[in-house]
A and B are shown apart, each in its own frame.
Chain A
Amino acid sequence: MMAIRRSAGLLFAGVLTVALTAGCGTNSEPSASGGISGTPQASASGSKPADAKEVVVLKYALSADQASRQSTKDLMALVEKKLGNVKLEPFVIPGEGVEFNKKMTISLMAGDEMDVLYQNATTYQKFATANLIEPLDELIAGEGYDIASIYGSSLSKYNDKIYMLPAFRDVHVTMYNKGLFDAADVPYPDNATWTWDKYVEAAKEITKLGKGVYGSYMLDWDNYFLLQARQKKVPEYKPDGTSNYDDPAFAESMKFYADLGNELKVQPDFITFKSKKMPWDAFLTTDNYGMFVVGNWAVQSAMDKKQYPRDWKMGVAIMPQVDEGGKAVMGIMGGYSVASTSKHKKEAYEAVKALAELQWTLPGNIPARVDLSDEEINSIFQPMVEGLADDGITVEELKDAILSPSLDIVSEKLVGPGMTQITSLISSEGELYATKQRTLEQTMKELKEKADKAIAEDQSAP
C-alpha cells in the first residue's frame, strides 16, 4: 500500500512538474527576427555580430494600431533607406497609450528583446529610472554627433544623461471658430498680442447662453488646472524637494480655470462638463464653441473632414499669453530611445537617430529639430494648409503658433519625483474645487500636503 502511494505520489509530482514547466521554458526555436539577416537564413538574435554588409533586424515596439498605419510603414522605410544595413520590424505590443506603456514595461522587465522604443518627455524618465532604456551619451560622444545644433532646446536630459532623441513636438495652440468670432464682431486672435485677458473678453462676447454657444471650451485634464502657473514657469518643486503648490500662482491658475465656467460662464461649468461626459472633440463636432486651447495634434485631427465635417471656418493662433508679447507655450516632445534589452545597441542608436532626424519629413509631424531651413519648415506646413484650405489658414499663421523659433516651450506635464501621483492629484483635487465642493484654500492645502507625501513616497521607493 505504501509502495503504491509512493509511486502515485512520484507520478503526481512528475506530472505536475512537467505541467508547470511546460509553459515556462525558453523558446529554443530560432527567432525569425531580432537578429542578423541578409545571409541565406536569418540567424537567431544576437548569435552573430553585425558587420557593414549584413542587414540587422531591429525590433521596433509598436501598438497594433501604430504598426498598421501607413505613416509608420513610411517612416520605417525612410529609416531603412537611410541606414542601408538596418531593417525595422514591428514588435507589436497590445493596447494604446498608457496601457501600451504598461505592457511594454512588463515586456522589458521580463527581458523581451526590443531595440527601438517610442517615448515622450514624461515616460522616458520612468524608463530611465528603471534602467529599461540606454543612456546614449557614449554613442553620441563616440561619433561626435552635434546634438545641440540639431535639437537645441528640444533636447532634455535626465540625471545628466541623454536617453531620448526628440523627433517631434506638440505645442498648445488656440483653435477658434471664425464664424462665431464674426457673428460677435470680435477680431481674430493676433499672434503678437494674444493674451488670456483678451481670450476672456472674446469669450464673453461670443457666449450666447440661450443658444448654447460658449466662447471657450476646455477639458478636465490636469494641465488645464495649472495653465498660467506653468506658462509663468513657476517651479512645482521647492529647493528643498517638497512641492511648491502653496505658491499663490497655482491657486490663481486653478481659480482662473474654474471661474471660466462657474463665474464668467464663458464655457460649460465643470459640473455640466462631467455630468454630460463632454468629449474632447466637442469643439470640432459642433458649432457651439468659440475657442479651444489644446495641443496642435487637434489641428491635425481637424484636417480629417470625414470624421469632423464642418460647415464653419477654423483659425489657429498661438496659445494665449499671460502678458502681451509673451511666447510661452505649453508643449511636449516625443522621441525615440534604445531599449536596454537590445542586442544591437549601436544599430538601434543609428535607427533612433534616423527616426528623430527624419520623422518631420512625413506629413503631419512638427519637428523637434531646430536646424531646419525656412524652406523645410514651409514644406512641413504646406500639407496642413492644403488640408485646411477651406479655413483659409496660412503657413505663416501655423508657423507662428507652432514652430516659431521665438516660442518658449514649457512642459505641459509635471516632470519630477511623484509626478504620476501628483498629476492625478491635480485633477482630482481640482475637480472638487471646480464643482464647488471645496474652497480654493482647502484645495491648495490638500494638494500641497498630498503632493509632498507623494514626493516622499516616490523618493523612498526602490
Chain B
Amino acid sequence: MRIEVTDTHILAVSNEYGFYSVTCPAADSIHLQASGIGYVTKLMNLSGRKSVRVDIALEPATEMLDEVTITTNPVRAKLSSTLMGVESITTKEAKVLPALFGEVDILKTLQLKAGVSSGSEGSSGLYVRGGAGEQNLILLDEATVYNANHLFGFFSTFNADPIRDVRMYKGAFPAQYGGRLSSVIDVHMKEGNDKKFSATGGIGLITSRLTLEGPLFNENTTFILSGRRTYVDLITDLINGIKKNDPDFQKIPAYNFYDLNTKISTKLSANDRIFLSGYYGKDAFKLANPDFSIGFDWGNTIGTMRWNHIFNPKCFANTSLIFSDYYYNIKNALGGFDFSLGSKIRNYSLKSDFDYYPAAGHEVKAGIQMTYYEFTVGRLKAASSDHTVSYDAGVYRTAMEYAAYASDEFSLFDKLKINAGLRWSAWQQRSSFASNIEPRLGMNYELGSHWSLKAGYARMNQYVHLVSSSSLALPTDVWYPSTQIVHPQRSDQVSAGWAGSINDQILVTNEYYYKWMNHLTDFRDNADLFLNDSLDMEFEFGKGKAYGTEITIEKPMGDFTGWIAYTLAWVRKGDFPGIMNGRYYSPKYDRRHDLKIVASYRINKRWTISATWVYGSGDLAWLPIGRAYFQDVEGAPISPVTPLYGDRNSFRMPAYHRGDLSVVMTMFPRWGSSNLTLSIYNVYSRRNPYFIFLVTEFKDVNQNGIQVKVPDKITARQVSLFPILPSITYNFKF
C-alpha cells in the first residue's frame, strides 16, 4: 500500500505486513491518500498536530466498482522504485493466462518475465540471469522451499489459490535477502478473509482444489486452509482393479501428489499480531508386485510462526521462528532383500526484522537471523528380510548460518533515491567458519515525470549446494553444505538501466547486467553422487560470468494488459581444473535470445481471452561427437559404438517456440462466482525438442560360423513432450 500526504507529496510504502509510518511537517489539516494496485484508493483528512495512528483497510477493486475505481498506477509505482530487476505477479494475473493441463502455476508465470529462462519443456524450473536452478532462493512466508516441484518439475509446489502474490528479485537484492546467487522468489500466502467465511476451488484435468477461509471465533482471528490433490492414482488403481485377473497385465504404478497450505493470523492487541503458516506437500510413487515392490516419496514440510510488534509510530518489528524440511525416500523390496535410500535437509531458523522510520524520507531496515541446518545425504539402509545381512551408509552434517543486515532508503537532491545496505553473513560447519560482507545498492534518478535511470549492485553468498546428476529437477537432488573443502559460492552483480512511461499507461524498461560468479560448484566427470560418504571430493570449483540485457514493454492497466519481454544473454563457466582443463564452457541453459509475448483482453465482464507466445534459442546439449570400439573383459558384452564426448554442451538444439491460448468464461450464479477456463497449450502443436539422443541399431551377422553383432545404423532422434494440449478447468468461489 502507498500512502501519500497530498499536501506535501511525502510518500510512504507499507511493508509486507501493512505497517507504514509517515513523518510530515505539522499542520492543522493533513490530507492522506492510500492506494494499492488492485484496490480502491482511499482519501482521508486528519486534523491535529500530534502523532496519530491511522489503520486503513482498502477495498478490492472489483468489476462492479470499475466505473468509479481509482487505483494505484503501477506504471508510476515502478518508475519511482529504487528496486531493479524486480518482477511481481499476483495469483489473479496468473489465473487468466494459459497453463499446461490447466494447472495455474505461479512459478511458470514467472518464466514469462524478462531475464528468466524456463528449464526443459513443461518444467517449472527457473534460470535467472545466467544462474543455475540451485541459485534461486524460494521462500514461502519466509520459509525456504528446498524443492519447489511436483512430478519431476512439471508442476510447482505452489497451489495458486492460497497464494496472494510472488515477487522475484533478479539483481540489486535488498539487504534482508541472502543465501543464493541468482534470485529471490518471495511467495506470500493470503491471510484469511476477516469479514466472512468463503470457499474457493476448482476441478481440473490433473487436480482438484479447495480453499476455505474466514474469521475464526471473531474478526481478530482469521484462517485459510487450502488443499490440492491429483487423481492419477485413483485412475490407475481402477485400471489395476479391473485387470487384476489378467495374467498378461503389468500393474501400473500408482502416483499422486498433494499439498496442504494453512495460515492463521490473530491480533493479540493493537500493536501485536501473530501469524502461523504451514505447508505440507508430498509426491508418492508406488508399485507393489509379489516379488518386487518400490515406494518412492518426497515432500516439503514448512512451518512459520511470526510475531509482529509495533514499538512506536516509527518502529515495527517482525520476529519469525521458521522450520523447513525436504526429504526423499526410496524403499525397495526385492526377493527378500529390503533396501532404502533417502536424503533430507532440515532447518530451524530464528530471525528478527526491524523497520524504522527516523525522519521524513528515510526508511531503515535492519535484522538478524540464525539458522541451524541438518543434512542427511545418501542414507542407505539395506538388509535381508531375515536380518542376516545388512549395510548402512550415508553422510550426516550439521551447520549454522548467521546473518545481520541494515539498509536505508533515502532521497538526495529531490530526484535521486538511494537504497544502500550492508549484509553480513557467516557459515559454520564443524571447525570451518566463513564470513562475508555483502554490500547492496540501488539507485533511481528521476528524469522528469516519465523517465528514470536506475543502477544497482549486489554481492551474494551461497552456503548450500544442490547435488544434481541430471538436467531435470529430480526429487533425488539433494542439498549439501559448505565444508572445509566445499567453499561458499559468491556472485557480484552490477546492473543499470532506464525506465520510461508512455502516457502513464505503458512502461518500458531496459536493464543491463553483468554478473561475476566465484567458487561455483560442478561435479567432476564421472562423479559418484550416490552412496558416497566423501561427496566433498566429487565437487569441482570454478568461476562463471553472465551478462545480458532485458527489455520489457508492459501495459499493466486496463482491459487490455500484457507485456513483451526480450532477453539477450550470455553465460559462461570455467576455471574448473578437472573439467575441460579449466576451459570455459556454456551451461545448458545459456539461451542467447528469449522472447515472451503475453496479452490478455477482458472483452466484457463475462469473457476474457489471453494468449502467450514464447521463443527461445535452443538449449545446449552435451552429445557424443565420436565413437570407439571397446570389447571389455571376458564375460562382459562388447560395446562397438561407445560414445566419445568432446567439450561440454557444444551442441545447440533447435529453437523453442510455442503459443498458448486461454478463454475464461465468468459466470455469476446467486451463490457467488464461477468460471470455466479453457486452456490450450501449444496451439500450433510445435514439436519442440525435449532432448536429442543418438541411437545405434545393430544386426546379427554370421561370419564363418561365428554370430557377430555389428552396428548397422546410427541416427539422431529428437523427443518432444507435449503436442497441442487442450484442458478445461472449472473454478468457483462463494
Q: A and B from one assembly?
A: no
